[in-house]
A and B are shown apart, each in its own frame.
Chain A
Amino acid sequence: MTAENRVIPALQVEDLTVAYRDKPVLWDVDVSVPPGVLMAVVGPNGAGKTTLIKACLGLVRPAAGRVLIHGRPVEAQRRNIAYVPQRGSVDWDFPTTVLDVVTMGRYGALGWFRRPGAAERERARQCLEMVGMLGYERRQISQLSGGQQQRVFLARALVQDADLFFMDEPFQGVDATTERAIVALLQDLRASGRTVICVHHDLQTVPEYFDWVSLVNVRLVASGPVNEVFTPNHLRTTYGGRLPFLSQRADPKERAR
């Protein structure tokens, strides 16, 4: 065993199987993610990417298998995990403000009955500044654009001061500027030793944005460093051979032929 393997993984998924009404969505998945990486979870629609994240967060109950965060069950690690759900998962017409939503990230640390105060709001403002949304604190959330909504969700996760981030399609429906800003933010998080796991759809940008990748299609196809496992063969297995958009960047050998 090498020294690297003895490091406790940030995320360890063992034999994870999840089923909705007898239909398996994830089957016997094993993933080990070392701390300090930026990992993409890729796979076709219905491959169970969101389910994988939700199972890691304890939001769906697995039929079999277990999930360890830094070597401990997820229930014991709530303070260390932040979550950025899909933007469309909430009602943006809810009567609340940007600052209020971001402050929600502190609710876990606050615990029962304690109300957020000046310290929590100040921390929320700092995180809004990190995502370039300072000045929008008092804005009603229905008045935000898609990219702004995404950044508010990111700020809410940052406020949690976690060291493991789960993000469900953080680039979905945002413009190029916002996408670059988010990528820079994710890379800052990695640089400060945090681990980030993103469901991602754009195969073209995987090698550029991420250094670790898991290819999922109900079963795990491969998981590891991008330059080792993000190969045409694995992609073909993941997407069932139909890969007309197989990226040239991801496939230098094929291009040379």
Chain B
Amino acid sequence: MNLIALVGNLATNDTLQVVALGSVGLGLAGGVLGTFAVLRRQSLLGDAVSHAALPGIVLAFMLTGTKAPLVLVVGAAAAGWLATLAVLAITRHTRIKDDTALGVVLSVFFGFGLVLLTYLQRQPSAAKAGLDRFLFGQAAAMLRGDVVVIIAMGGAAIAVLVAFWKEFKLLAFDPDYAACLGYPVRILDVLLQSLIVAAIVIGLQAVGVVLMSALLVAPAAAARQWTDRLGVMAALAGLFGAGAGMLGAVISSTTEHLPAGPSIVLCASTIVVVSLLAAPNRGIIWQVLRHWRHQRRLGLEALLCDLLELATHHHDPEHGHSLSALAAMSGGRAGLKRRLRELHAKGLVRPVGAGRWTLTAAGRIEAARVAASHHPARHEDGCPT
């Protein structure tokens, strides 16, 4: 796929613009609302809600006979909410834990949805076709009407989130404290959950029930890597979601037989992988690098201390110490020569004859400082070994 051709297509192709706009909207809403789902450790609930929406969509169609976006979205939202209530009821009134309850609700609703879908496809009605696109999503089929619904609902959800920002932040961080300050935690909880359900259902047509929760979780997880501020995290997650949504949808629309859901989710996953690896501080690369630097510094300091200890035994600063003596002290020859070369480059040690080394004047001062900083109480012999 040629990226330049893609951008060119986007500029000229009306259908593609509609698709791009719609997927930016649903990615944005999914990312921003997903931030709260992730921070409240409710990622799995999002998965249950999106799978559970399938029977809602099919039933809405069976009852009304139309495929108007608003009708299907309302059906999906109703079923998604019912699933949430079912999970809460199961965890509250039985001994079943929430992960099990989520699994049960998800599979029951999704299974029921598949049965309804299969039944519908056996019916000889012409209008039935197309509902199965809700499984894996089909961005290419997005129409203006769909985009209007996505933008209206997504925009409303984000607007409500911003209006209750301070309350939702408190709810996500410390719900008991929110209750103590007099906030109606139960109502706020229901409101936030409704916003998350809204963000999920508007994405179902393009991404599909199977993978929609990824668009909720992935951008937020990626955004968490880059920042320690809630506001920045939500904005970044929205940006990542919008980017992944648009890129994935456009790639899918211009490639034959590539469903939009998997394509969008792959784009989002790429962002996650890059963030997990490369984000400053939290990224794996940085952590490994920091660990490695630390190890190296400790190795050099230990060697300095070993040399200092040998020097105090000999009283003669000109006396060189053999590699074998140093290897015996530090427990091995591995990397010993490299460490000596590094210290030599820093002017802390110097060679005395063949293969023998001693501290320079600067080296003695540095070694004493290191020893003192590691064991301030023991001063003389306190070396990190």
Contact = CB atoms under 8 A, between A and B. Distances in A.
A115 B164 CA distance: 10
A112 B164 CA distance: 8
Contacts of B232: 95
B330 interface: no
Contacts of B224: 95
Interface string A58-98: 11000000000000000100110111010001110011110
Given A89-B176, A112-B167, A140-B228, A94 B39 contact: yes
B181 A107 contact: yes
Nearest to B233: A95
B85 to A, nearest CB: 20
B39 to A, nearest CB: 7
Contact of A97 (B166, B177, B183, B228): B228
A96 B182 contact: no
Given A58-B179, A78-B181, A112-B167, A101 B228 contact: no
Interface majority SS (helix, strand, loop, mixed), chain A: mixed
A229 interface: no
B289 interface: no
Interface size class on chain A is 20 to 34
Q: Which of B173, B180, B224 has the most CB of A within 10 A?
A: B180
Contacts of B229: 95-97
Contacts of B39: 91, 94-95
A104 B230 contact: no
Contact of A59 (B164, B172, B176, B233): B176
Nearest to B180: A83
A89 B180 contact: no
A54 to B, nearest CB: 8
In the A-B complex, the 3 residue pairs with the closest CB atoms: A108-B181, A78-B182, A140-B228
Interface of A: 54, 57-59, 75, 78-79, 81-83, 85, 89-91, 94-97, 101, 104, 107-108, 110, 112-113, 115-116, 140, 142, 156, 160
Interface of B: 39, 163-167, 169-170, 172-174, 176-183, 224, 227-230, 232-233
Given A83-B177, A104-B173, 4 more contacts: A58-B180, A78-B180, A85-B177, A95-B230
